[in-house]
Structure 1
Amino acid sequence: MSDLDDIDLQPEDFESSVPLKKVPYGDVFEASRAGDVDRLRYLLESGVNVNARDRWDSVALYYACLAGHLDAARMLLECGAICSEHTFDGDRCHYAALNLKVRKLLKAFEARPPPLAPLQAALRDTFLGCSANAYGYTAEQNSDAPYSLVPGNSANGATSTSHFPPDVVFYVQGRPVEAHRVILSARSPFFKKKFQMEWKDRKEIRFSREKLSYPALYSLIHFFYSDRLEIAVDDMEDLVRICKVCKCESLQILLEKELIHQRYAEYKALRDIDNSQKRFILQGLSLPDQDRLSTALHHMLQISLANSKREWNLESDVDGLVSIVGSAQMIDFENDLADVCVKVEEKIFRCHQVILAARSEYFKARLSRMKDFLEGSNGLPDNTFLCLEEHDLSMGAFEKMIEYMYTDGLKDIDPDQAEELFDAASRYLLFPLKRAVADALLPHLEMVPPAELCHWLILSDMYGVLKIREYCLDAMACNFEMFAETLEFRAMLLTLPPPSGDSTLRTTAPSAPGAEMNTAEGNLLDDLREKWLEAEAAELDERDESALLFDKRLEMLMHLAEQERSGVLDDTS
């Protein structure tokens, strides 16, 4: 609630203004109208377009605001629902809001757009890390700011070194936009074709057409990186023309529809009174799945992996009749725009430096040092690939790791790979990977026996994977007697600190330097006791007595485990 404290909202305000009802089979519009947050959460997590329109041209947020469901409205806003005033959807929600508190919630989220997913946030930081783009973004937010920037330098004259450098610069109306070829090629067939032909070896591209608008092109390229479009309403017509050229058909259709709504927007009649710049914000979730950033990069990754396999087969030719140099013409390596090779075990993976550097501080540091080394090398061709070699990592685990780096998700996972991926997430400073592995692993955990669940609890606690840790604790608390009869559970108790509530007896340490410590995560048995008390629905005045009974039960199980361990030792001796 800290983000909303300044608009005078209390927790009780998020109770619906009308009686709730359940719509277990309803769509996103029915769930929003009814205030069924459980159904709404399920639909949004399943990938439903939060800004989809029904046959009456209304979005889900409109129905939540109309009915006064503050909790449902907040959930939709956090998932990227459009609420900006002076847009068709935003104005309808503001005008339809049941009360002032709903309007205050809309205003709060209009000033604070929903956070980007890790992939989009990382690539947006890479885009804005380019000094010309960072200054351009500031200038676009403040259109009255003068533009004076030397390409490659920051606004104060200092060269930016904290970002991954671009490999192409566009000049529009004398102003630079820095970018990376692989991102533009993945998002636009127009750019992909140009980089394969006319712009193949060009580092700078200058546009002379007067009709080409710098704000429109800048906003489009920013969208390619972040899946979030932010543009002034006055520049939208220029952007539609650019989308048509770049073959961004889905985005073009949405913008054309919004332009129709803008022509009838009420603020058009108030220009003499309110001449402030109106901006339009569009989330990538409004586009079909095949036109989103993660899907585009996944397609690029598939091409790179296919080329990697073919290149590996050529290199491993036992007869030596085929070499990778002699076979360069046999394989179309230009389509994947790969610029770095990573060797894991005996396989070579073709990857893209900007993706690896954006997602992992480890790769950013290592690639930047290798580039500095190559800059001082003479006699090397310009197209020399950087080559990295990673040790103590299997080919399968690395392939899953780059799948996450390119797509922000994992479609499926072998449970035997989970521990290696948890370790890789720590080693490569890719901590969000742990949650992606946990999401893919949870369906498997629902079918494992209690003995195996004990293993996953220890593993998740060791690596700080909170989602699996919580799942295991919940399962053990709800089925405590069943676990108490399990030999592995009793043996596990001997490896854990006793339940005490003392925060000094933590079982979890940071996974790696720079990892955040979760201070709410403490002693495993303390947490298990709390889960058990919740499952038993112990009354407040009986919690101390119930906790004491739980501790005595644990003591008995530990004593039994000691006897079992001693018996095993006696048998082996």
Structure 2
Amino acid sequence: MDKHELFSSCKKGDLSRVRYLVEQKDVELNVRDKWDGTPLYYACLCGHYKVVHYLLQNGAKCDANTFDGERCLYGALTRKIKNLLRNLKVVTSKIMSRDHYSEFLRRAFETAEISDVCFVIQGEKINAHSSILAARSEKFLNMLKENWKLRTEGELISMDKFYVSYSNFKAFLKYIYTGVLDLDISDIEAFLHFINDFGFNNLVIEIEKRLKRKRKRTSFTIEFNQEFYKKDFYKLFLSALPKKYKEYNSMSDFDGAEFADLHIQLQDQVFACHKVFISGRCEYFKALLLDHFSEVEERAESKIHAIKLTDINPDLFIYILQYIYTNTVEINRDDVLDLLSLADMLILTGLKKQCSTLVGENLSVDNVVEILQVARLYNLPRLETQCTEYMAIHLEEVVQQPAFKSIVLQDANEIQERQETDTIAVIDDIRYHIASSTKICFSSRKFVLIESLLEELKLDA
């Protein structure tokens, strides 16, 4: 199983394999073996600094003054690893990996792919996306609608009249995209006036606080939580919805449809989207747009690309759009399995994980076999582990289910040219959980139940 391979890779120091198991196979980092060891403990014990560093960055638990923390610290093979563990607070707060959403926003700003606005300031050009600017700043929204609306395609927008430096204007745009401001305070008064004029009073207040505390500094960085600016991108999501979904649209008076450059038609509904989000967040749509598949056409009168798809439910697509624009979505339990299938088709790994989490929170004796099959179908190993662990805990009830007996037979039939050492996958996983979990009582009785079932099904495993 994947978790066994994770233990082995951490012991060997195979960082590339550890990355694959964590990022592609979604293996739980804090899983334990029968000796109560974790992947992090073995990486420390065997002296693999890079693996230890990676595990810590990605959520491996090693809190100070806990059994796990002390065990890792005293078992660490090298002083370098011991120092890394002692400075765990520094590691987790300063070196934490960017999540995919933050990385998307940073990349959208730095590469300016699919940009439709180009500013010039002090002779330097900066590309940007009108949809993001309009969503984040009412001043930008009004200027894009009025002052700059009639500009010809490719025409530069001069920002020199605002008397702000090129470096600080670029820093301001980066803040609009990412919530991170790297500020040079050499022309701070002009900059404060500029951002206040564009409606960022809260940022002015924060900068003034920092200036009082850091009078001798010539530059500093301010980083805001994602939730601080996600509400603006939520407005952009709302503006993309068709009129039919007025219960959503009534929540916002922001009109971002005129900045739309991509129409996605599903059945009789047209979503007025923004390519910077759709292409940047979804590999499926990026492939459609970049590879010019037959589903994409360009409407000459508006120069807006259009994608027409027939196999996606518009009601489900609302969830997809909300995830793409904001990285979060509230999912109705009745829709979760259909949404999981759609997220898998659109290659939205993060949304698959969110769906998987919701499904895993609602396991029951009646649905656990079905969910196990779903987990296997969509390659969700963490959910598969949850299912087999649930089966092990509730084995007395599960073993009576016809569906459970069917999946045992199915797994047995998938073994080709069975040897004495072959095992039935679902039975093997359940045995593992019974043997290793402290949650499961009366383990000997559960092993007897398994043997009785295998005897009834005339299987030997």
Q: TM-score, normalised by structure 1?
A: 0.57
The size of the alignment, in residue pairs, is 385
> What is the aligned partner in structure 1 of residue 197 from structure 2?
245
Q: Which runs of 5+ in 1 are unaligned?
A: 21-36, 38-67, 72-98, 131-163, 272-276, 311-330, 508-522, 539-545, 564-573
Unpaired segments ≥5 residues, structure 2: 1-39, 41-48, 74-81, 247-252
Residues 1:403 and 2:322 are matched in the alignment: yes
* Structure 1 pair 193–335 and aligned structure 2 pair: CA distance change class (3 A): farther
State the partner residue of 1:222: 174
- Contact 2:239 / 2:254 at 8 angstroms: preserved in 1? no
Corresponding residue for 1:529?
A: 431
What SS does the aligned partner of 2:119 have?
A: strand
Q: Within the alignment, does 1:283 sit opposite 2:229 as a pair?
A: no
Q: Who is 1:365 aligned against?
A: 287
SS in 1 for 2:339: helix
Distance 1:350 1:206, change over 3 A: same
Match of 1:255 among 207, 210, 221: 207
Contact 2:375–2:381 (8 Å) recurs in 1: yes
Partner residue of 2:337 out of 406, 416, 419: 419
Aligned to 1:474: 389
- 2:450 maps to which residue? 554
Match for residue 135 of structure 2 among 162, 186, 190: 186
Alignment match of 2:144 (pick from 195, 200, 214): 195
The structural deviation recorded for 1:181 is 0.7
Contact 1:498 / 1:525 at 8 angstroms: preserved in 2?
no
Instruction: Name the residue aligned to 1:166.
Output: 115
Q: Secondary structure at 2:183's aligned position in 1?
A: strand
The 1:534/1:207 distance shift into structure 2, 3 A limit, reads same
- Tell me, what secondary structure is at the counterpart of 2:366? helix
**What is the distance in 2 between the residues matched to 1:363 and 1:117?**
20
Counterpart CA distance in 1 for 2:210 and 2:163 is 21
1:409 CA displacement: 1.5
Deviation at 1:217, TM superposition (A): 1.7
Give the Cα–Cα distance (whole angstroms) in 1 for the partners of residues 293 and 404 of structure 2.
Answer: 51
CA distance in 2, matches of 1:251, 1:425: 36
3-state SS of the aligned residue for 2:164?
A: coil
Contact 2:122/2:160 (<8 A) preserved: yes
- Name the SS for the 1:474 alignment partner: helix
CA distance in 1, matches of 2:423, 2:458: 23
Q: Return structure 1 stretches of 4+ with deviation > 6 angstroms.
A: 99-103, 371-375, 498-502, 504-507, 549-552
Shift of residue 358, structure 1, vs aligned partner: 0.5
Tell me whether 1:454 sits opposite 2:369 in the alignment: yes
Closer, same or farther in 2 for the Cα pair 1:455/1:5, shift >3 Å? closer
Checking the alignment, whether the CA contact within 8 Å between 2:182 and 2:219 is kept in structure 1 is: no
Find the residue that maps to 1:495 and give its secondary structure: helix
1:38-437 correspondence runs (5 A): 104-105=87-88, 108=91, 113-130=95-112, 164-202=113-151, 203-209=155-161, 211-232=163-184, 234=186, 239-263=191-215, 268=216, 278-285=219-226, 289=227, 291-292=228-229, 294-307=230-243, 309=245, 337-370=259-292, 380-381=300-301, 383-415=302-334, 417-437=335-355
Report the alpha carbon displacement of residue 187 of structure 1 after superposing the two structures with TM: 1.0
Cα deviation code 1:348-400 (max 9, x no counterpart): 2221111100111221222234599999x8x933x243221113222222221
Residues of 2 paired with 1:349 and 1:179: CA distance?
Answer: 22
Shift of 1:244: 0.8
Residue 333 (structure 1) shift: 6.3
Seen in structure 2, the aligned counterparts of structure 1 residues 533 and 256 have a Cα distance that, compared at 3 Å, is same
CA–CA separation in structure 1 for the residues paired with 2:150 and 2:422: 60
1:532: how far off? 1.9
Q: CA RMSD in A?
A: 4.4
Q: For each residue in 1:432-479, what CA deviation from the matched residue of structure 2 results, as whole angstroms up to 9, or x when unmatched?
A: 110122234444x1xx54121211111012202244323322222222
Aligned residue identity for 1:418: V
> Aligned partners of 2:295, 2:313: CA distance in 1, in Å?
28
Aligned-partner residue type, residue 556 of structure 1: S
SS in 2 for 1:389: strand
Give the deviation of 1:486 after TM superposition: 2.4
Check 1:433–1:107 CA distance in 2 against 1; reply closer, same or farther (3 A cut): closer
Could you tell me whether the CA contact under 8 Å between 1:196 and 1:334 is conserved in 2? no
